[in-house]
């Protein structure tokens, strides 16, 4: 690998001059030397060592992002928003997938600190796990203390600037759609119990039930892993235990898709025999049949706002920006036929 010294030698100049020409310093250099150096760069196919550059400059320009899984459309959308703002500000983004493993999340905070990123953004659900939360908060505090910026998306357990999706309100909207439509026996396909996203959405759903004089008994709630196949399994269990349901709310769209596939396989018509409501409004929602009624979150915008918060100067007090949920009515849900 050619180094700056090689280039300088070949061009017959000092490394200092070569560096100035290559990385565009403000210092003036004669055209003749400039040309000699650029020729040497070209001939040697020289590319500066990024790590050495990093060490020598005192900059701190990259931004780290920790998500559960980028290939999940939910996070893909958020990431798109994050990237847009980052790129507009000339920042490089390092993306880390925790695959919903808290310990891996802890490791990635260390890794990003080691990479000297200017900011760390955590996206995705929080965990009901005081020990872990404490450990994570500690690591983030240490980072913040040395000038690092932190912002989070949808994780109210953590301190710092935050963008908060209205998960409870969204749950309420889904609840209004089914209970308001006259459904009494409503099943729920929930996400993992330890995630705050699950409990928040569930809370909103419960509020709607109460408002319509209904309840959400435990036997009509099954917990799955927020993905299609576990959603399908959960749906089978739910239908076996409570065959008299007339509506199912899945707490994300992936699981709702699994629900639809099970209903199709059992010959249960949607929405005439069973209403189905999802959550997130992922792109697939409009392509399944029947198209999915779902609660929409402005994912891309949430990502953009979280990045903006992270790049702005630190405010005196942590800022919290809400992100509203809206119901997108499609064909998978209908009022209860009387």
Partner DNA sequence: ATCCTCCAGGAAAACGCTTTCCTCTGGTGA
Partner DNA sequence: TCACCAGAGGAAAGCGTTTTCCTGGAGGAT
38 binds DNA (CB under 7 A): no
Which residues, numbered 95-154, are part of the site for a copy of itself (CB under 8 A)? 95, 110-111, 113-116, 139, 142, 145-147
Among the listed residues 137, 261, 300, 326, the single contact to a copy of itself using CB under 8 A: 261
Which string of x and - marks every residue 212-241 that binds a copy of itself (by CB under 8 A)?
A: ----------------x-------------
Among the listed residues 26, 30, 51, 213, the single contact to a copy of itself using CB under 8 A: 51
The interface region with a copy of itself, picked from 53-61, 153-161, 180-188, 240-248 by CB under 8 A, is 53-61
Among the listed residues 9, 41, 45, 48, the single contact to DNA using CB under 7 A: 48
Q: Report CA torsion sign: 17, 22, 26, 28.
A: positive
Among the listed residues 3, 97, 133, 137, the single contact to DNA using CB under 7 A: 3
The interface region with DNA, picked from 16-24, 87-95, 180-188, 194-202 by CB under 7 A, is 16-24
Which residues, numbered 120-179, are part of the site for DNA (CB under 7 A)? none
Distance CA 223, CA 232 (A): 11
Among the listed residues 12, 180, 217, 283, the single contact to a copy of itself using CB under 8 A: 283
Residue with tokens 């509203």: 324
Which tokens belong to 36? 């000699």
Which of the choices a copy of itself, DNA, none does residue 5 contact, using the CB cut-off of 5 to 8 A by kind?
Answer: DNA
Q: Which residues, other chains included, contact 218 with Cβ-Cβ below 8 Å and sequence gap of 6+?
A: none
HSE-CB of 243 using CA atoms within 13 angstroms: 2
103 binds DNA (CB under 7 A): no
Among the listed residues 1, 131, 315, 337, the single contact to DNA using CB under 7 A: 1
Among the listed residues 39, 55, 99, 269, the single contact to DNA using CB under 7 A: 55
Cβ closer to a copy of itself: 104 or 214? 104
Distance CA 285, CA 292 (A): 5
Smallest distance, DNA to C-beta of residue 14, A:
3
Beta bridge partners of 8: none
Which tokens belong to 46? 């020289």
Given phi > 0 = left and psi -120 to 50 = alpha, else beta, which region is 137?
A: alpha
| Cα first-last separation, the chain | 77
Q: Which residues, other chains included, contact 274 with Cβ-Cβ below 8 Å and sequence gap of 6+?
A: 245, 246, 247, 248, 263, 268
Beta bridge partners of 190: 223
Which of the choices a copy of itself, DNA, none does residue 268 contact, using the CB cut-off of 5 to 8 A by kind?
Answer: none
27 binds DNA (CB under 7 A): yes
Which tokens belong to 101? 């493993």
| Of 118, 63, 57, the residue nearest 85 (C-alpha) | 63
Smallest distance, DNA to C-beta of residue 10, A:
12
Cβ closer to a copy of itself: 211 or 273? 273
Pairing of strands 293-296, 326-328: antiparallel
Distance CA 95, CA 330 (A): 34
Among the listed residues 20, 68, 149, 172, the single contact to DNA using CB under 7 A: 20
Identify whether the C-beta of residue 331 lies closer than 8 Å to the C-beta of residue 241. Answer: no
> What residue ranges bind DNA (CB under 7 A)?
1, 3-5, 12-17, 19-20, 22-23, 25, 27-30, 32-33, 46, 48-49, 52-53, 55-58
């Amino acid at each position: 690998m050619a180094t700056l010294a090689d280039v300088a030698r070949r061009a017959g100049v000092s490394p200092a001059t070569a560096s100035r020409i290559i990385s565009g310093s403000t210092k003036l250099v004669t055209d003749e030397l400039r040309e000699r150096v650029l020729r040497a760069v070209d001939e040697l196919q020289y590319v500066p060592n990024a790590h050495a550059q990093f060490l020598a400059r005192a900059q701190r320009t990259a931004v780290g992002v920790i998500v559960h899984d980028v290939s999940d459309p939910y996070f893909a959308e958020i990431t798109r928003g994050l990237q847009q703002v980052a790129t507009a500000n000339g920042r490089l983004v390092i993306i880390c997938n925790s695959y919903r493993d808290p310990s891996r999340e802890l490791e990635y905070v260390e890794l990003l600190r080691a990479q000297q990123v200017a900011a760390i953004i955590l996206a995705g659900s929080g965990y009901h796990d005081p020990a872990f939360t404490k450990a994570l908060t500690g690591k983030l505090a240490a980072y913040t203390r040395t000038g690092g910026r932190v912002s989070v998306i949808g994780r109210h357990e953590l301190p710092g600037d935050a963008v908060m999706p209205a998960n409870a309100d969204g749950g309420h909207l889904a609840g209004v759609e089914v209970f308001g439509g006259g459904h009494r026996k409503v099943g729920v396909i929930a996400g993992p119990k330890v995630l705050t996203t699950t409990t928040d959405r569930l809370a909103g759903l419960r509020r709607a039930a109460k408002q319509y004089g209904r309840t959400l008994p435990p036997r009509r709630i099954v917990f799955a892993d927020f993905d299609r196949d576990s959603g399908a399994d959960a749906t089978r269990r739910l239908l076996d235990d409570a065959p008299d349901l007339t509506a199912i709310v899945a707490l994300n769209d992936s699981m709702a898709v699994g629900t639809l596939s099970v209903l199709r396989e059992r010959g249960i018509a949607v929405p005439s025999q069973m209403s189905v409501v999802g959550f997130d409004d992922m792109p697939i929602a409009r392509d399944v049949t029947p198209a999915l009624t779902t609660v929409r979150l402005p994912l891309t915008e949430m990502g953009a706002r979280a990045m903006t918060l992270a790049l702005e100067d630190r405010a005196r007090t942590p800022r919290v920006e809400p992100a509203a949920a809206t119901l997108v009515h499609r064909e998978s849900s209908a009022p209860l036929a009387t």
